[in-house]
Amino acid sequence: MISVASWNVLHRVHAENWYEEVAARWPDESARIAAVAERVAGLDAAVIALQEVSGDQLAALRDVAGARVVHVLRYPRVPRPKRIPTVLRDRDEYLVILADPGSVRVAGEAFTDDPGKGALVVGVGEFTAVATHVSGDVRGPGQLRDLARLAGTGPAVLLGDFNADRTTVAVELGPEFDVAELPPGLPTRPRRDGAEKSQFIDHIVTRGAVARGARVLDGGGLSDHNPVCGTVSAG
C-alpha cells in the first residue's frame, strides 16, 4: 500500500496570462513559492505528483525534498507572458513526482499534440506511478489513451489534472481503470459562480489496484486547484 497526492500548483505565467485571482492574492511570487514548497513537504504521501511547476518552484521543492527523490519532466513549451512581464527567473514548466527513495524514473514525454502537457512515469515498488496534465479540449481523449499505454501492464496509479470530470476520464481510459470518487463539497478546481465546467478535474486513477480514502485538501488559496490525496493498494 502507498499513500499518494496530486496538486496543480499553478505556474505563475499562466496565472498572470489568465487573470487568476491567485496572482493578485500573492503579489510576491517568491513568498507563494516558499509556501507551496512548505505545503508539499508536509504532505504525508509516498508519491506526490505536481503539475504546472515553474523552474523557480522546482528549485524550492528541491530545497525541501529531504530524502524524497525529485523526478521531473521539462516540457518543450516554455510559457510566454502575454500581458505583463513575469516575475519568474526561470519560466520553464515541469511535471514533477516526489517519491520515496528507491523510486526510479521510467519514462516522460510531452503529448505530441500539446508540448505543454504530458506524462511522467516512475516505478515505486510494485506500482507504476504516472503524473499527468491533460489538455482540456478535443485533444484530451487521445491523450488519455496515451496514458493507458504509458501505465504499462502491472498495478498502476495515475495522478494529475485531467481537465475532465470523473465519468469522462473513466470512459476514455477504458474498463481496466477505476477513477476514485471524491466526496462532494470542496472541489479540486474551484470556479467562479456560474461556470459550467466541472469543478472536479483532478483525479486518482488506478489499474490493478484499489484507491481508498480519496479526498480533497484545502490548498489555502496557494493555487487555483486544491490537492487530492488517498491510499492505493494492489488488488
pLDDT in tens, 52-76: 999 999 999 999 999 999 999 999 9
- CB count within 10 Å of CB 19 equals 9
pLDDT-derived band at 234, boundaries 50, 70, 90: confident
Picking from 16, 159, 162, the residue whose alpha carbon sits closest to that of residue 79 is 16
Task: For residue 19, name the pLDDT band (cuts at 50, 70, 90).
Answer: confident
* Buried b or exposed e, range 38-68, using 16+ CB within 10 angstroms: ebbbebebbbbbbbbbbbbbbebbeebbeeb
Whether residue 21 has pLDDT greater than 60: yes
Q: What is the CATH number of the domain that holds 68?
A: 3.60.10.10
The per-residue pLDDT for 193 is 61
pLDDT at 20 over 90: no
Cα(138)–Cα(135) distance, integer angstroms: 8
For residue 18, what pLDDT is reported?
83
Give the closest residue to 159 by CA, choosing from 39, 29, 45, 28: 45
Q: Is the pLDDT of residue 141 over 60?
A: yes
Dihedral of CA 1/104/10/118: which sign? negative
Rounded to whole angstroms, the Cα distance separating 123 from 125 reads: 6
- Containing domain of residue 52, as a range? 2-234
Query: What's the CA gap between 193 and 187, in Å, rounded?
Result: 13
Cell reading at 189: 478546481
pLDDT at 194 over 90: no
Instruction: Give the CA distances from residue 172 to residues 59, 66, 91, 139, 152, in Å, rounded to whole numbers and listed in that order.
Output: 35, 37, 32, 12, 16
> Quick check: 166 pLDDT over 60?
yes
What mean pLDDT do residues 110-127 have? 97
What integer pLDDT is reported at residue 138 of this predicted model? 96
Q: Helix, strand, coil proportions of the chain in percent (round to 5)?
A: 25, 35, 40
Q: What is the pLDDT of residue 53?
A: 98
pTM for the predicted model, two decimal places: 0.96
Cα maximum dimension of the chain: 50
CB 152 within 8 A of CB 186: no
Number of domains in the chain: 1
